[in-house]
Amino acid sequence: MVLKAIELWPQAPGYLFLAGIYGNIYKDIPQAIDFAHQALALNPSPSEREYAEDFIQKAQGLLATQRR
């Protein structure tokens, strides 16, 4: 349902929600990072921007440790 909602009305909070779902539940870190980047592209609020940037940094760090 969230994907359909974002398709109809794209907003940063929806993409951040999907980033969390894909990162924490599905363990699809690359897709989660992509959703966080999409949130950043939608002119998020300062707190949403901070959350997205922090999320991306932590997710990229997790990917780096998984590749070792």
**In this predicted model, what pLDDT tens digit does every residue of 9-66 receive, in sequence order?**
999 999 999 999 999 999 999 999 999 999 999 999 999 999 999 999 999 999 999 8
Question: Do the Cβ atoms of 19 and 52 come closer than 8 Å?
Answer: yes
Long-range contacts of 45-49 (CB under 8 A, 24+ apart): 45/12, 48/12, 48/13, 48/16
Total-model pTM:
0.91
Q: What is the pLDDT of residue 66?
A: 87
d(CA 43, CA 61): 24
- Tell whether the torsion through CA atoms of 51, 56, 59 and 60 is positive or negative: negative
